Amino acid sequence: MSTPAYPGFCSVESYLRLPRNPETWLIRHLVPSSGAALLFAPSKQGKSFAAIDLANCIAGASDDWLGFDVVTHGPTLYLQLDTPRSVWAQRFEDLQHSGFRCHRDLMLADRDSIEKFPFDILNQGHAVYLRSLIAPQRPVAVIVDTVRESHSGEEDSSTVMRNVISGLVWASQPAALILVSHDRKPNPDANKDLMADHRGSSYVVGRMDVVLRLTNNRLYFKGRSIEEGFVKLERLD
């Protein structure tokens, strides 16, 4: 007899026999398999470029992302809801002209290529639709850029944001969910408090397994399995 996926409460011995991902990490010490991550920064700070590079590494382009081991590779889906296709496509063309090579398992969708737009994860029909797009690809990671454009609710409400994150996780599971969002502060170096500088409800950062904050020359990180720290960045033309 197979072990049920949802057995309710059970003994430790039974619990340890339940189905689980054999690999703990997507990116070691940062993003767990089937986990949740948040990357945020002020506008025009390059967060989408950082997210593209992250997605490309997870897809299989590299075993390393900014010094962190990428230990699980596979199809990676990037849903762009914030930027029109004309600009988004130009970014990829510019990247390719500069020598950046996109892995074949990095797949894109934008607001012009999905049926439900404006998209709203709080709409059950939209959530089901998104899940129907994601599930056949069997991704290891889904990136949503940006969180604000994925719902119609009030982002300062913990109740609303709990439903937003739950909906996105449900649509993406068992893939890891990586969210791209905006900074609260206009000055990217005004405050290094990762838990306070993300705009909107504090529920979002509290729900994440890791929080990443991009500034002009650093990537700050803090997570359930890693102490707060930073990586120095060098910006190229």
pLDDT digits (tens, 9 = 90+) for 41-65: 988 888 999 999 999 999 999 999 9
The per-residue pLDDT of the chain, averaged, comes to 91
The two structure tokens encoding residue 211: 């929080």
Rounded Cα gap, residues 201 and 17, in angstroms? 36
pTM for this entry: 0.90
Q: Is the pLDDT of residue 2 over 80?
A: no
Q: What is the average per-residue pLDDT within 201-210?
A: 94
**First CA to last CA distance, the chain:** 59
* Residues 194-204 pLDDT 10s: 767 888 899 99
- Nearest residue to 209 (alpha-carbon basis) of 15, 19, 34: 34
Q: Beta strand 218-223 with 226-232: parallel, antiparallel or unpaired? A: antiparallel
Rounded Cα gap, residues 133 and 149, in angstroms? 18
